Chains A and B, each alone.
Chain A
Amino acid sequence: MAKYIKFLFVGIIFGIVLVKSEAVSWYRIYEMFKFESFHMYGIIGTAVITGIILLLLSKNFKNINGGLMTVPKKAKGLSRYIIGGIIFGLGWALSGACPGPMYILVGTGAFSVIIVILAAILGTFIYGVLKDKLPH
């Protein structure tokens, strides 16, 4: 049980940051895709730049288990990333919620988001069923 406390803590901070940054707002996603605000680009941009620096600086560091600080490598491919990416983007812009914010929004009391979560679970299941028939 104790080993999960740290993950609970990380999740709590994640939830707070995403609410306070307004990244969980449907309106902010809409505005981003309209190119009418720098806000979301600023968040993603500074997150990526900070992330690149942190990962480069910690290249020779060890993680908590004594292993290397590694990020799993994504499989090579084109179709799955572009087609899957477009499908996700369509849903992201329509619902205004990606998989992190979905859960966080429930915490803010937006219980109708549970419908989006259930539909996302169904979408994931259908992908699993069709996986071998799709180009990857």
Chain B
Amino acid sequence: MNLIFHFSFMQSILEPWPWYISGPLIAIIMFVLIYFGKTFGMSSNLRTICAIGGAGKKVKFFDFDWKQQRWNLTVVLGAVIGGFIAHSYLSTPTNINLNPDTVNTLSTLGFENAGKSLLPAELYSWDAVFSLKGLAILIIGGFLVGFGTRYAGGCTSGHAITGLSSLQLPSLIAVIGFFLGGLIMIHLVFPLIFG
């Protein structure tokens, strides 16, 4: 009996985790960081990295004591390790259970094998990276994320999870912005880039 329980428990760990398990776990991570006297915000690390690189000498926005942020860089290091552990030891190669309509639409946009990996080879394989279009997409995408999160003062963790959990109006406005931007990209810009 015990053995069967153990087996099925391990089996469920290896399967993708359902949203009703993952969502509350993310909230607990946020809560634990607040209990530790910190806050859950991943995009601030980008600002910290700029400060470590010496940007504070030229730009006031980066002139702060980045050593106070070492705890958050440690969270980042942990996240990389967590990604490695989950991918290497806690996953069976399961396809992502995407909506068949999504898979079809992606196929018309030139994305084959949708859901067979975490990231599309059409954007993230080295072949794609070494094409002008592929490289431009990753650089523009990353640039907009870095610029936009700092402008908005937070990203998914800082605004959508922490800000909404603490019922802050600015975070609700920011999250509405996130979705407007995402909808514009997927529905209006994607057909132009990949059509």
Contact = CB atoms under 8 A, between A and B. Distances in A.
Interface of A: 3-4, 6-34, 36-52, 54-55, 58, 61, 63-65, 67, 69-78, 80-100, 102-110, 112-113, 115-129, 131, 134
B11 interface: no
B33 interface: yes
Mostly, the B contact residues are helix
Contacts of A67: 37
A35 to B, nearest CB: 9
A26 B28 contact: no
21 contacts: A12-B81, A21-B16, A21-B17, A27-B102, A33-B179, A33-B182, A40-B19, A47-B30, A71-B39, A83-B152, A87-B148, A88-B181, A95-B144, A100-B155, A100-B157, A112-B125, A112-B126, A112-B129, A119-B139, A119-B141, A120-B149
Interface in B75-95: 75-87, 90-91
A96 B86 CA distance: 19
B83 A99 contact: no
Contact of B23 (A15, A44, A61, A108): A44
A83 B82 contact: no
